[in-house]
């Protein structure tokens, strides 16, 4: 991936939805997808942050994005069908989803893991991607080349003490990715994969590793090649794969 050279117009005329687009890796992904030509729908829970990303994209002269404030923790199934109806009206199709929004929860042993926090982490990290994907598949089928990207983690591939609901949700994310990829294996127009970003300089990483020097970590901007590769047509035919961004 290090020597992948995306064409400047890789994502031209594509409509791409990014969850958790207001901060961290989601913000960098949204800006990067827009830089390569995509019309990006910025979905997240903090409107002020989404507006800042919107302004950055507009000031850079990239295609005009759209903002869709939504709290994935409390969203009902109807909120998802409303979202899809809006996307259908505004754009008529969808060419990609980056499921990026995530909640760390707490680092705690299973025996003492706060029960409501467990439910919230599972809701945001795995139920929301299920609900969103389920609602969007009809729109994705209208695209001639669509990509669904799930966001995993090292602890979604091998369990580790105290990572609790977060790690369980990432294991489930890999499962959802594999199942959906298998269901769509005959459909060459929709590919489904996951990315483990690896240690990246964001608020979530700092919350999980408060003693770590953030300057030793890659920035979100530095891990974007894998995201571009999977979102664009160069990854056609790649499906069911678990990739690492670093
Ligand atoms: P950040 O905490 O920086 O960003 C997470 C984003 O998700 C924020 O924009 C946040 O919104 C949004 N979000 C959280 N909860 C909700 C919700 N209920 N509804 C809508 N949006 C929500 O984290 P990262 O950028 O580090 O993480 C991005 C993804 O990468 C996550 O899935 C994470 O698990 C994964 N990851 C990150 C690693 C790292 O080292 N950074 C390593 C491995 C995986 P708001 O800003 O408004 O709170």
Atom of ligand 1 nearest to the CA of 73: 18
Atom of ligand 1 nearest to the CA of 71: 19
For residue 6, tell me if it sits in a domain. no
Q: What is the pLDDT along the chain (246 residues), one digit of tens a residue?
A: 668 999 999 999 999 999 999 999 999 999 999 999 999 999 999 999 999 999 999 999 999 999 999 999 999 999 999 999 999 999 999 999 999 999 999 999 999 999 999 999 999 999 999 999 999 999 999 999 999 999 999 999 999 999 999 999 999 999 999 999 999 999 999 999 999 999 999 999 999 999 999 999 999 999 999 999 999 999 999 999 999 999
- 24 C-alpha to center of ligand 1: Å? 7
For residue 9, tell me if it sits in a domain. no
Catalytic residue among 54, 62, 166, 227: 166
For residue 109, tell me if it sits in a domain. yes
Its pTM stands at 0.98
For residue 2, tell me if it sits in a domain. no
Assess whether 166 carries a catalytic annotation: yes
Please report, for the domain that includes residue 74, its CATH number: 3.40.50.720
Burial class (CB in 10 A: 0-12, 13-18, 19+), 208: middle
Residue span of the structural domain in which 194 resides: 15-244
Atom of ligand 1 nearest to the CA of 198: 42
Specify whether the CB–CB gap between 223 and 197 falls below 8 A. Answer: yes
For residue 201, tell me if it sits in a domain. yes
DSSP labels, 39-73: EEEEEES-HHHHHHHHHHHHHTTPPP-EEEE--TT
Name the domain count of the chain.
1
DSSP labels, 174-212: HHHHHHHHHHTTT-TTEEEEEEE--SBSSHHHHHH-TTS
37: left (phi over 0), alpha (psi -120 to 50) or beta: left
- Alpha carbon separation from 215 to 85, 157, 188 (Å, rounded): 42, 26, 41
For residue 123, tell me if it sits in a domain. yes
- Helix, strand, coil share (%) of the chain residues, nearest 5: 45, 15, 40
Which residue puts its alpha carbon closest to atom 12 of ligand 1? 20
Pairing of strands 39-44, 66-69: parallel
Pocket around ligand 1: residues whose beta carbon is below 6 Å from it?
A: 20, 22-26, 44-46, 49, 71-73, 100-103, 124, 151, 153, 197, 199-200, 202-205
């Amino acid at each position: 991936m290090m020597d992948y050279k995306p064409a400047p117009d890789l994502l031209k005329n594509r409509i791409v939805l990014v969850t958790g687009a207001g901060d961290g890796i989601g913000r960098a992904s949204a800006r990067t997808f827009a830089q390569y030509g995509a019309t990006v729908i910025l979905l997240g829970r903090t409107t002020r942050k989404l507006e800042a990303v919107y302004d950055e994209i507009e000031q850079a002269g990239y295609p005009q994005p759209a903002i869709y404030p939504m709290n994935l923790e409390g969203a009902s199934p109807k909120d998802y069908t409303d979202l899809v109806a809006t996307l259908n009206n505004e754009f008529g199709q969808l060419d990609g989803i980056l499921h990026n929004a995530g909640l760390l929860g707490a680092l705690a042993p299973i025996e003492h893991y706060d029960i409501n926090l467990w439910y919230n982490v599972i809701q945001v990290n795995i139920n929301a991607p299920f609900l969103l994907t389920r609602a969007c598949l009809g729109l994705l089928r209208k695209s001639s080349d669509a990509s669904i990207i799930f966001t995993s983690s090292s602890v979604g591939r091998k369990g580790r003490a105290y990572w609790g609901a977060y790690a369980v949700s990432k294991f489930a994310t890999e499962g959802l990715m594999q199942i959906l990829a298998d269901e769509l294996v005959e459909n060459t127009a929709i590919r489904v994969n996951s990315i483990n970003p690896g240690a990246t300089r964001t608020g979530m990483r700092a919350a999980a590793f408060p003693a770590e020097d953030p300057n030793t970590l890659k920035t979100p901007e530095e891990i974007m090649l894998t995201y571009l590769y999977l979102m664009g047509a160069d990854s056609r035919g790649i499906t069911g794969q678990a990739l690492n961004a670093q």
